[in-house]
Amino acid sequence: MRQGRRRLKNHVRETAQFRVRALLGFAIVVLALGGLAGWYFKLQVLDHADYARRSEANRIKPQPVVPARGIIYDRKGRILADNVPAFRLDVVPEDAGDPKALVAGLSKIVTLTAEDVARFERERKANRSFRAVTLKLRLSEEEMARFAVDQWRFPGVSVEPYLTRRYPYGALMAHIVGYVGRTDEKDIEEYGPGQALFTHTGRAGIERYYDEALRGKVGYEEVKTNVEGRALGRVGRIPATAGADLRLAVDVDLQRTMVEAFGDHDGSAVAIDPKTGEILAMASLPSYDPNLFVNGISSADYRALMDNPSRPLFNRNVLGGGPPGSTVKPFMALAGLESGLRRPGDRVFTTGEFHIPGQKRGYRDAHGGSGWVDLHKSIAASVNYYYYKLAYDMGIARLSTYMHRYGFGEPTGIDLAGENGGVVPSPEWKARNSREPWYPGETVIAGIGQGYWIATTLQLARGTAALAADGVLRRPHLARDRRDGFRSPWTPMPQPVPKRLSDNINYIRAVQGGMEGTIYDPGGTGRAMAIGASYRMAGKTGTAQRVSRKGNVSTNPHSLPLHLRHQAWFIGYAPTEDPRIAVAVMVEHGGYGGSTAAPIARKLFDGWLLGKYPEADPDAIPVTAIGARAVVAQASPTPASAARAAIPDLDAATVELFRGGPGAAR
């Protein structure tokens, strides 16, 4: 066997190859080390400020500081809505142990509802175990005393002070001031993510309309935390800006007079200053206690309100409305003058029944035939025939145009949300809401405020104030002034430029004379209300039918069941030589305006002009403005004992005013 050839190694070549590979590996290592050094240089030097900021951000957490909500006053400085210390029961789950055992033990000391427990469980599961969760939002003095004795048995449970909204006058001012409720997901969707920082959001009334101004601006404090997010201490603070204070034009004394004058009747009323458009008083009855809603109303209380057939939550002045009846006649008379179809001295012979040419059916006048009637007598004696014929001569298109000019069929612009604009009858409106054509008879009854009419008490009050102010139609408003800070001056709330009902003052004077005749003429429908008055007044009574008459037979509203009785209306102003108050009153199921609504207006006139107010309950006097502001300023950082010392008896200061007393009119 032949031996194979042996291959000789080239040591020189292998050595050279090894050197090349070693140098290449070394170069790669050097480049890698250089890149790493460069990256370290970038992190430690070039990007130091950025990463230091990020590191600090992980250690320092900003937490929002919610400001105190602005205080609401009446025109004389009496508090209508403020912030007072309250006390809640907080639980830190990781320190409290078994939740079920905890709730069972605490329920023997404090009253816990099913809603309290359900809310606690929901929030406990949604938060970290070391964060406090509220079990009960409002503790009474007795509950706090009982818990203080047994607090040692419940580790992780504490009583914490906080500010809560309070409405000292309760139901008396509910439909004006409104109320706040705890912020929910719908509020966040409507107002944006920032709304989640505020515990409460305005739900109704002034609280809702001026919510953004009242809630203020959120501040922040920087809190040092550990890796788990547990707070270790406070580093810095950017103070919150407290909400603006509002001073309303409403007078509490006149408001109480208005509510008590209704007695047991339901209805609505508005009193307004003709010279400024300021709302002096405004009631919708029955009312409700807004304090129930602040921290969440119970199911039982809410169901009681919703099941009440009189609808206490329904603001009749803003959301309601109905046929204005004869109270529309002064405005119809002015429209007749403005259109050129009538002059103040023109007379119409009334037979007691108006017939449309070519029709057999007549439109009766409740007062019967009145003979020759001019504009003055048509208003004073409320002669329907005059307005049947005027509406027919005017036509529905022109009638609708003038009524819109006078402020009907559209919102007044009051500073309350959701205002109903009402309805002025017109073929266009009927076409949108019915398949029936427009009939001439509907034009005729529109002249006396019947048919498809929907007018609110607020619209009638505004129109009456314009007649009292020689034709100047102003925006009705509740908020008079605001101030941004306790030491800042009050600044008036800006108002739009007013409009005019008519440029002819003689036309306005003619209508004013007719309204004065309502009170003082021998045949005036409101003569009884002027008995014993030391000032002169003007007005117009009205009755809006709730049931149709059968054929040509009129129905006495007092013979009907209560729920079918007509609406009683009155509009008016006083004193006639220099009007300082204009009112509109609507009494549901009240029958006739002259006997039911007019006496309420008389009490309002006496109250505002003569100072004849019902006696106030001395226990119903709320805390002073200075005292309330001091509480707001100190309550947040003050411990529970000191906060309680600031207001020694919280419950006694909370006042609920209910309607009562004998009826003002029968």
Give the residue numbers marked as catalytic. Answer: 326
Angle separating helix axes 329-339 and 457-468, nearest 10 degrees? 50
Which residue has tokens 């919510």? 211
For 330, the token pair is 């002064």
Three-state SS sequence of 579-616: CCEEEEEEECCCCCHHHHHHHHHHHHHHHHHHCCCCCC
Residue 186: phi, psi to the nearest 5? Answer: -65, -40
Which residue has tokens 């031996």? 3
For 199, the token pair is 């515990």
Distance, CA of 394 to CA of 344 (rounded, Å): 16
Which residue has tokens 């405005």? 331
Distance, CA of 536 to CA of 517 (rounded, Å): 11
| Helix (H) or strand (E) run with residue 204 in it | strand 200-204
Question: From its phi and psi, is residue 413 left (phi > 0), alpha (psi between -120 and 50) or beta?
Answer: left
Collapse the DSSP code of 332 into the 3-class scheme (helix H, G, I; strand E, B; otherwise coil) and give the result. Answer: helix
How distant, in Å, are the alpha carbons of 242, 253, 615, 647 from that of 619?
Answer: 30, 15, 12, 15
Spatial contact of 62 and 220, defined as CB atoms under 8 Å apart: yes
Distance, CA of 74 to CA of 173 (rounded, Å): 10
Of 596, 210, 271, 203, nearest to 415 by C-alpha is 210
Of 314, 308, 295, nearest to 137 by C-alpha is 295
8-state DSSP, 552: T
Spatial contact of 475 and 496, defined as CB atoms under 8 Å apart: yes
